[in-house]
Structure 1
């Protein structure tokens, strides 16, 4: 990036390291699938941290685990509406669905019973399940957002049962290795930061433990680096490689629940935290474990992402820092839009394009890249959606009001498109075409002055 941009980013990181009293911090900006800037402040073993220094990811682990659950869904091995009991039978909370566990709406207790799991050696699945035999559900499944570390321990067991191996082996084989995240590991390897607690009233440090969390490990065990987390940040932005389709990653980023009331500023999708900040919609995750903080976010609108690590239990405002890094990058060096170029389309679909009407409301239908359709109000506001083909003259809504709904094209005897049927709404070439099967019929006297 430009020297002026790099200095502004470095200054923001430096202020956070000082004000948050972090022994060390690293941060990076991600664009077009690459780390375009990174910096480190403070010291790890007497030297500045670099882009290959490992820190704990904490709960960012959950997002990576969620990607593997979505792979199982895309393979048809499970449905997000399946009750847990269908895949991990016999628990006391088997009515919670897979989707609810991913989005922290399954009602499960936030922490595993017994000793504080983040600072304790964890037991196996049998021990965790036994500890949850009673009083595991704190809320009615689906009724509200209630962050649950336990839920991701459970999802780790679900993965293990479907893959016939432990969750970490499956995760490494199917997500980490294909993305080139070879420095993301369950325990530190090579250069890594030690986790510290900083005394609240003196500039003193206390080492924090980093045990193996056992069955709770899918909630926050992993360690990673700037380079590896940069690759994951690009993944969340849609550069998903062969691990998931971009549409599935977009589904993970879609809002499933809010955690702050009516006018949401933060919420949760399927394994991803969602934040609205200064007009931006950001997706990613924060992470904390004793001795460590981490955060990764990507702006869905601009595609710019950022991340940070710190080796302190508390102090730096990591989410605000990462959001600011994205804002600085986009303000100083906004992305140029891709140049428009003509592209070949399925010309047999051209007769579908143009003006349609839902009742008296005009809509435009146009072909967009990827063989898809876009239907949007001619006035610019209202119900707009994109659609992908699923069968001849059938299209599936991808987003907006019509997400998941089917658009069907009905043709005249000569093959000319006559009307569209979209979730029972009939679109016609002219407003309320009397020749079309408009629900409720069209007054035979037609349009009039009064």
Structure 2
């Protein structure tokens, strides 16, 4: 008989994860300059629209080929496969409409939950190319990248029936590799393809709206409980552990980030607090169900310190990752993934005395990083050389909201008969 409690749990968690993408829009929107806020937020909403459709049409069929009762699978199982019965969610629909379902939840609930992961992963990439990307080119990139990179990588990580990582024994409970390393590597590739912003230098680009940043981080944190606890697929003890770690690690990461900020710059900032929270969330994602809360706190604190330093690497290495997708998501995702090799309950080095788990985690992280970076670079380069990915320099300097979307984020007055009139 269908477990209605677990069904409700999965559906609610899916809604929380979907809410993360508008939260990301606020987080990223507050970090850019005022005349680029609409462009930045629209890339997140564009991801919701495009990826939501592609997931239903064929994304689930690729990511979860041979999952459950898949019987018409073509391709290399475990690497890149497609279940033709799931095109348009035909088989999932039939399973969910069955009169008697003996499962924790219907297939369509799982479909919806995983769709939100695909959406947020694509949206994360956009922060690396803030202030200088064409919306149409971004949408082309998003559609191609999610098809040839995210859907297959999601199969490696989340398809416990035949995914490569499940076979290898890799621990990634909620997507440290599939989401954060994946998006971070793609963001690095696009930052290189599009080049530096006009006037790129440390301190040259200040966040225009720190309250937006804090609001976005708060929404992300709220939704992340669905991201991590919901990955268990049941309202049980594992989900509860993931929930507690999703509270503890980001809280500790804020402290670690602010400590380094105070030492480096003399001030602990609101943007630093928000960035620290997101860093802790990134790092705990793969590890939330495999660490005791004490080790979760240590992970968050260390991740906050490491990533606070990592965001300055772009100035030393010469790539313009506008909103620190590399420093937070790539570095934080790698850190959290490798941390499991040492501290994972039962299999980590300190418990088993073996480096085997660390080796598995390292191979998984490297595989996703290289696969995503190479393909993202090729896709981005092809778009730049054909339809063009970057806006004109004059539009970038002026702010791209008006040029790309014909709108302004902040209209403070209207002109009527050449007399400014306050908008109430």
Fold similarity call, TM over 0.5? no
Higher relative contact order (CA 8 A, sep 6+): 2
Greater fraction helix: 2
> Who wins on radius of gyration, i.e. which is larger?
1
Could you state the TM-score of these two structures normalised by the residue count of structure 2? Answer: 0.28
Could you state the TM-score of these two structures normalised by the residue count of structure 1? Answer: 0.27
Greater fraction strand: 1
